[in-house]
Amino acid sequence: MAEILDGKAIAEKIKQDLAIRATEFERKTGRKIGLAVIRVGADPASAVYVRNKIKACERCNIRSLSYELDESVNADALIALIHKLNKEPDVDGILVQLPLPKHIDERVVLSEITPDKDADGFHAVNAGKLFLGEKGGTVACTPRGIIELIKSTGVPISGKHAVVVGRSNIVGKPVAMLLLQNDATVTVCHSRTQNLKDITLSADILVAAVGKSNFITADMVKRGAIVIDVGMNRTENGLCGDVDFYSVKDVAGYITPVPGGVGPMTVAMLLCNTVDGAMHE
């Protein structure tokens, strides 16, 4: 029976430390660290994510500035707001909640956030620094949280075979780079991968970022493996991960639950990125 990696508890501890750092920053500078959160449209899932992020800011003594724009807003107006926030000295981090409405090109919008305030770590400059192994960049929140969860097991990453299923720019690719930086041997799988099961069965560390409910089943997991479930799939039975938790927990050594695994760590890492950004100024 696998040990459950309690992302909620680990995230809580991280937030306690952040609250201390943010309060110390305020004492030294006379201002609170600030995070601007921009949401466009009325997507209910985005509204929940944004609410959680704002609540977490309050908990950590970080000032949140919330901008709710109408679904019909055009890219120019959104970019004008970002430019204004880029120049605002009290704003240390800017977050644009994804997805954006179809008529707005996310890549164009995200590239307008100054890399120093890119709390999500999606800007090409920050992604490039991660790729090159340069220090001082902002690492995307979910991948950063995944590494923290793996490290919380105490099992060394170095030399292990890490298999990442999914190659998105926000999860799969950056987490693969971080695992490589931590000296894992990394295999990245995707929808064209052949013999997926043969590959996942050799994983000491398995990261599932597929976006398909219960996609990873017990017969795909090596006994004792660390299994990180990134999936957040809304089904008629509620929120469901990419890993079939109930069967995989009997095979894996460690496993993250959904909810309560990667999700809370993502929020904690967003706040980490914001506090780190303020401290680096």
Residue indicated by tokens 């309050």: 58
Quick one: which of 156, 124, 143 has its CA closest to 228? 143
Binding window for ligand NDP (CB under 6 A); candidates: 61-69, 81-89, 127-135, 162-170: 162-170
Binding window for ligand NDP (CB under 6 A); candidates: 16-24, 116-124, 205-213, 249-257: 205-213
Q: Is 165 in the site for ligand NDP (CB under 6 A)?
A: yes
Q: Is 230 in the site for ligand NDP (CB under 6 A)?
A: yes
**Residue 97 falls in the annotated catalytic set:** yes
**Residue 43 falls in the annotated catalytic set:** no
Q: Is 51 in the site for ligand NDP (CB under 6 A)?
A: no
Residue 193 CB, shortest distance to ligand NDP, in Å, is 5
Q: Is 262 in the site for ligand NDP (CB under 6 A)?
A: yes
Among 143, 174, 257, 263, binds ligand NDP (CB under 6 A): 263
Quick one: which of 135, 195, 187 has its CA closest to 166? 187
Looking at the Cβ atoms of 151 and 190, the one nearer to ligand NDP is 190
**Residue 28 falls in the annotated catalytic set:** no
Residue 114 CB, shortest distance to ligand NDP, in Å, is 23
Residue 80 CB, shortest distance to ligand NDP, in Å, is 27
Binding window for ligand NDP (CB under 6 A); candidates: 13-21, 32-40, 189-197, 269-277: 189-197
Q: Is 78 in the site for ligand NDP (CB under 6 A)?
A: no
Three-state secondary structure of the chain: CCEECCHHHHHHHHHHHHHHHHHHHHHHHCCCEEEEEEEECCCHHHHHHHHHHHHHHHHCCEEEEEEEECCCCCHHHHHHHHHHHHHCCCCCEEEECCCCCCCCCHHHHHCCCCHHHECCCCCHHHHHHHHHCCCCCCCCHHHHHHHHHHHCCCCCCCCCEEEEECCCCCCHHHHHHHHHHCCCEEEEECCCCCCHHHHHCCCCEEEECCCCCCCECHHHCCCCCEEEECCCEEECCEEECCECHHHHCCCCCEECCCCCCHHHHHHHHHHHHHHHHHHHC
Q: Is 138 in the site for ligand NDP (CB under 6 A)?
A: no
Q: Is 189 in the site for ligand NDP (CB under 6 A)?
A: yes
Q: Is 232 in the site for ligand NDP (CB under 6 A)?
A: yes
Positions touching ligand NDP (CB under 6 A) are: 142, 165-168, 170-172, 189-193, 196, 209-212, 230-233, 262-263, 266
Catalytic residues: 53, 97, 120
